[in-house]
Amino acid sequence: MREALGDEPLPGVRAREGGARHVPTVRFKTILTGDAFVAGDRVRRDLLARFDALVVEMEGGAVVQVAERYGARWLVVRAVSDLAGHDGAIDFAVFLEDAAHTAATLVRRLAPVL
């Protein structure tokens, strides 16, 4: 799957309008999902260490459950905008647009090998 990403960099994301783009790092690793918002550093660090995971989120599990139920292949792609317990230093609307464009590019590159 990594080979499908190619050498072309992803479009990247900005922290705010007019800012420099940050080209994201693509990682393949466990993503934790659950029904509780994680808002503290200690809880986040404990969960990530206990399960050798990269991030904690709340939506991917539902998508995976539906896909598994219907026998569909699945892949969760996340753009991490903040760390639990930290103040966000971004313009979320700018990040959202850039993250969506970057995620769409990533999915188009990976779709042929899924």
- What's the sign of the alpha-carbon dihedral 23, 26, 27, 32? positive
Question: Quick one: pLDDT at residue 85?
Answer: 53
**Is 80 exceeded by the pLDDT of residue 10?**
yes
Question: Quick one: pLDDT at residue 68?
Answer: 96
Q: Is the pTM of this model over 0.75?
A: no
Q: Indicate the domain borders of the chain.
A: 11-113
pLDDT tens column, 24-46: 888 889 999 988 888 888 998 99
pLDDT tens column, 73-110: 888 888 776 655 555 567 888 888 898 999 899 989 98
Looking from the CA of 112 toward its CB, the CA atoms found within 13 Å total 8
